[in-house]
Every structure is written in structure tokens, then in C-alpha cells.
A and B are shown apart, each in its own frame.
Chain A
Amino acid sequence: SYVLTQTPSVSVAPGQTATMTCGGDKIRGKSVHWYQQKPGQAPVLVVYNDNDRPSGIPERFSGSNSGNTATLTISRVEAGDEADYYCQVWDTYSDHVVFGGGTKLTVL
């Protein structure tokens, strides 16, 4: 089955840029979606199709996808961005949806 690998934790100071990666075999050939989850809340879609934002998501959130790594970038990080972030793909080979293990973003 397809596996997505995320760095467990990232720490960044307010105002700086946070970069979170999602590794997968030839992930460039898949559409990657990213979710933000705060404690006690349901996940929220923040980036879809590698680099599109749903309405209401700030432009500070952006994504990219190349080779074997997809990346979520949060510019000008705010305290309210502290959360767990999960990447996700639809593996068309198995017709399964796959989540990464998540990255905990800490704002220092």
C-alpha cells in the first residue's frame, strides 16, 4: 500500500516561515491535499490539488509537489497556526485514500 511519510515535528518563531514535507514514491504523479487539525477539532482542508486553497484559507498557506516530496509552506506564521498538519492522497492503484502520519507545528 502507498505510504506517506511526514516529519513528526516542526518548530518556528512567529513571523517566520514553516515548511512541512510529505514523502511518497513518485508523489509528483498524485494530487496532494493538506489538512490542519487543532486539538478537539475536526481536520480542515487548507490546500488541495498540490497548491490550491479553499475559500477562506489565507494566502500564507501554499503547497508544492515535485519528485518524491510534497511541501506545505506557511509564511508569516502566527500563534493560531499551531496545529497538526496531515498530507493526503488518493492512491489510484489501490483506490484507497492515504493520510500521512502528521507533523506537529509548534510556534515558539
Chain B
Amino acid sequence: QVHLVESGGGVVQPGRSLRLSCAASGFTFDNYVFHWVRQAPHRGPEWVAVISYDGSNIYYAAAVTGRFTISRDNSNNTVYLQMNSLRADDTALYYCARALGFGDTFYGMDVWGQGTTVTVSS
């Protein structure tokens, strides 16, 4: 079965760091692009970052550029999101999502994990 399982969330003080992980199983990992998407309470989804098949192409939302880093380990079927200088408005449920295609050939996010919660509070 196809699965994405996020981990690494928690409660953290403003200015601190967290590293999220997304473990994939049930499919050929390096055939897919991966995104991180977050959703604050009672809000819609907000795209955070994307990484291409081999990690050579990466893009970030303006709100996280310079603070967050997405990466992947194709040998361990895992995607990461390193989050530095966290702020209160980063508080959200963070989803990892699989996608076929990139850019002009983006076909949507067809598999999502259940998310990991990040709370930034003093």
C-alpha cells in the first residue's frame, strides 16, 4: 500500500528549529516529486516547498524562503523539511504530498500523509 508518514512535529519556541520527516513506502520513491503543504487551524492549505525527483530543482513559498530547506534521501525513501527561525505564524499541520510531474507537467498531488503538527509558541 502507498503510504506517506510524517513525523518530527511538536511545540517549539519562536526562533528555534525543527526538522520534519516524511517516510514513503509502497511505491518507487524516485519516480515522484514531493511537496510540503501546511494548513493552519481553520484555514485552507498553503503550499510550502517542492523538490524534484533527484533534488536538483527546489522551490519555496515566499513566506518560508531563507528559513526552510527541503531535501530528500532517495536511498531511504524519505523527504525532509528543515525549519529554522520559526515564527508563530508557522503554526500549522504540515503535510507531505506526492506528485507526478513538475512545472508544466504538474499533475496534482495524488497521495498525502496525515500530517504532523507544528506549534510555535513561547
Binding site for B on A (CB under 8 A): 1, 31, 33, 35, 37, 42-45, 48-49, 54, 84, 86, 88, 90, 92, 95-102
- The answer, yes or no, to whether B32 is at the interface (CB within 8 Å) is no
Q: Check if B106 sits within 8 Å of A90, measured CB to CB.
A: yes
B114 neighbours in A (Cβ, 8 Å): 42
Q: Check if B59 sits within 8 Å of A96, measured CB to CB.
A: yes
Provide the bound-state CA to CA distance between A102 and B44, in Å. Answer: 7
Binding site for A on B (CB under 8 A): 35, 37, 44-47, 50, 59, 61-62, 95, 103-104, 106-110, 112-115
Which residue, of A45, A84, A100, has the highest number of chain B Cβ atoms within 10 A? A45
A84 neighbours in B (Cβ, 8 Å): 44
Task: Supply 14 A–B pairs (Cβ within 8 Å), ascending by A.
Answer: A1-B62, A35-B45, A37-B45, A42-B95, A42-B112, A43-B109, A45-B109, A49-B108, A86-B45, A90-B104, A97-B35, A99-B44, A100-B44, A102-B44
A49 neighbours in B (Cβ, 8 Å): 107-108
Which secondary structure characterizes the binding site on chain B? Answer: mixed
Could you tell me the distance in whole angstroms from the C-beta of B63 to the nearest C-beta in chain A? Answer: 11
Option from A1, A95, A99 in Cβ contact (under 8 Å) with B59:
A95
Which secondary structure characterizes the binding site on chain A? Answer: strand
Could you tell me the distance in whole angstroms from the C-beta of A88 to the nearest C-beta in chain B? Answer: 7
Which residue, of B35, B45, B47, B108, has the highest number of chain A Cβ atoms within 10 A? B108
In addition to A37-B45, A45-B109, 16 A-B residue pairs with Cβ atoms within 8 Å of each other are A33-B106, A33-B108, A33-B109, A35-B108, A42-B112, A42-B113, A42-B115, A43-B37, A45-B110, A48-B108, A86-B44, A88-B108, A95-B103, A97-B47, A99-B45, A99-B47
B47 neighbours in A (Cβ, 8 Å): 96-99
